[in-house]
Amino acid sequence: MPMKYENVCLEVFACTVPEEVVTSAAIEARLAPLYSRLRLPEGRLELMTGIAQRRFWPPGMLPSEKSVQTAEKAIRLASLDKGHIGALVHGSVCRDYLEPATASGVHHGLGLSRECMVYDVSNACLGLLNGVVQIANMIELGQIRAGVAVGTESSRSLVETTIRQLNADLSLTRKTIKQAVASLTIGSGSAAILLTDRELSRTGNRLVGGLARANSDFCHLCRSDQQDAAGADMKPLMYTDSETLMREGVRTARLAFPEFLDTVGWDAGDVDKTFCHQVGRAHHRLLFETLDLNRAIDYSTVEFLGNTGSVALPMTAALGIESGHVNNSDHLALLGIGSGINVVMLGVDWQCSLVEKVI
């Protein structure tokens, strides 16, 4: 599905990074019973994924707590009157409860108006980008003047539950543990994306358009064990065919990319900078080789943040912009690929960066 915009600006990316650092070496130390039983070499996890560390929130923290903090930061950076915000979308996999929507608690914490539309979106690693599209559509239609897509992912429970399961299941082999490797790469983080109409914008960072494509033939490649888990006490497990998911996800991106370029009116050589979903070193290399893009135009955080799910791309954008990766007048491509398989690609004519040092 192609999308084009004339009146929408992507004003701010903001993020909050957890303080607690968890190295791949530390995870392997906790997996000593498994490693000993299967005679696995130390350093295997980082070698396979390129991920040296990821971060955790404190135990018991609810996603809404950090989502309020991150959305508040985005609003502050934009110097935007909260009365202009007409939509708040909470797009992370993690949420406080099955109901009400986590967005309701974030709306309350931010003190937004009663006229603001509030809801959650769930779509694996693409929830926040889907939220951006929905907010952009509302702005383009003249229904609202500004909106925020925000989310917070918390990986502690998934990683710790996976470690316990791997150590306890004596039937596992070197082959069968592969479905659990992706779960050990997951990190925590929080991100917000604030959009406005062109008249409210301080930056002129125009969202030109984008493309969404689904390939649900492969919806079974990454799934959770507990479909109804939510909140601070959740104990999830994930089963992921990482190799097939990577291959088919990149193949779907390859099919989508030419149509994306046509929609935004660019050639591949017009793409100055990219921010992508952060999975691992092999995925990054294959994606850029397949799309015939120079990897130097990309900014990567997977090495020190791991895969932070739906907030991975916007967190990376916030950190990359803060570091000076994006220049004024750059054509910026946001390349999102999520399990399902779904792809969302968005193009932005970047003019000005509103930043606040994060880490």
pLDDT tens profile 190-237: 999 999 999 999 999 999 999 999 988 877 767 776 544 555 555 566
Give the pTM. Answer: 0.93
Domain limits at 32?
A: 1-354
The CATH number for 183's domain is 3.40.47.10
Q: Does residue 294 sit within a domain?
A: yes
213: amino acid identity, one letter: R
| Residues of the chain where predicted confidence (pLDDT) is lower than 50 | 227-228
Percentages (nearest 5) of helix, strand, coil residues in the chain = 40, 25, 35
What confidence score (pLDDT) does residue 219 get? 78
Residue burial 175-206, b: 16+ Cβ < 10 Å; e: rest: eebebbbbbbbbbbbbbbbbbbbeebbbbebb
- Catalytic pick among 125, 153, 248, 322: 125
Q: Which pLDDT value is given to residue 226?
A: 55
Instruction: Round the average pLDDT of the chain to a whole number and report it.
Output: 92
Is the residue at 171 inside a domain?
Answer: yes
Task: Tell me which residue of 120, 14, 49 sits closest to 304, measured CA to CA.
Answer: 49
Q: How many other CB atoms sit within 10 Å of the CB of residue 101?
A: 20
Is the residue at 83 inside a domain? yes
- Could you tell me if residue 338 is inside a domain? yes
Q: Is residue 135 one of the residues assigned to a domain?
A: yes
Residue 322 in domain? yes
In this predicted structure, what is the pLDDT of residue 227? 46
Domains: count for the chain: 1
**Contact criterion met (CB below 8 Å) for 163 and 30:** yes
Assess if residue 119 is contained within a domain: yes
The question of whether 15 is a catalytic residue gets the answer: no
**Does residue 94 carry a catalytic annotation?**
no
Task: With respect to residue 359, please indicate whether it lies within any of the assigned structural domains.
Answer: no
Per-residue pLDDT at 235: 55
pLDDT tens digit sequence for 310-354: 999 999 999 999 999 999 999 999 999 988 889 999 999 999 898
* DSSP letter for each residue of 134-184: HHHHHHHTTS-SEEEEEEEE--HHHHHHHHHHHHH-TT--TTTTHHHHHHH
pLDDT confidence of residue 236: 60
Find the catalytic residue in 20, 99, 243, 356: 99
